[in-house]
């Protein structure tokens, strides 16, 4: 099975890349073999990256100074020794953690830790250019 997602330090800078099915994102790929890359000027602008730790269970609210409802947050949450993908586009895979936008208070909300004793979220906040 090919590695299809990389988020973090790649070739000396921080990037997010997703390959098309059947292609390993860690090898040199052409643009036609990628589904998404932050190297592309017109595919989405990464506004902020980082990590947040939630000790125990609950909600972690992160204020975003440039908040709009057109943001997308892609993240990985580490629960125990396993990393789970997450996105504000939906389709959270682990029932013990989720992520959401809070337009009423201009924050990104990380929910987690249920039954796990805490978790670490690694995130990239991007402009959502796919929403009209």
SS3 per residue for 80-116: CCEEEEEECCCCCCCCCCEEEEECCCCEEEEEECCCC
Name the β-bridge partners of 81.
Answer: none
Q: What is the pLDDT of residues 11-55, one digit of tens each?
A: 788 888 888 888 888 887 887 888 788 777 666 677 888 998 888
For the residues 112-125, what does the mean pLDDT come to? 76
Sign of CA dihedral 104, 106, 108, 112: negative
Listed in sequence order, the residues at least 6 apart from 132 whose beta carbon sits closer than 8 Å to its beta carbon are none
Q: What is the pLDDT of residues 50-108, one digit of tens each?
A: 998 888 778 888 888 887 777 788 888 887 788 888 877 655 556 677 788 888 888 88
């Amino acid at each position: 099975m090919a590695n299809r997602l990389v988020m973090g330090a790649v070739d000396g800078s921080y990037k997010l890349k997703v390959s098309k099915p059947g292609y390993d994102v860690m090898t040199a790929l052409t643009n036609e073999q990628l589904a998404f890359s932050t190297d592309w000027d017109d595919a989405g602008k990464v506004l902020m990256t980082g990590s947040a730790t939630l000790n125990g269970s609950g909600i972690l609210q992160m204020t975003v100074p440039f908040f709009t409802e057109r943001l997308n947050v892609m993240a990985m949450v580490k629960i125990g020794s396993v990393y789970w993908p997450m996105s504000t586009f939906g389709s959270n895979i682990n029932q013990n953690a989720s992520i959401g936008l809070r337009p009423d208070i201009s924050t990104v909300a990380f929910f987690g830790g249920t039954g796990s004793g805490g978790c670490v979220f690694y995130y990239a906040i991007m402009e959502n250019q796919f929403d009209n």
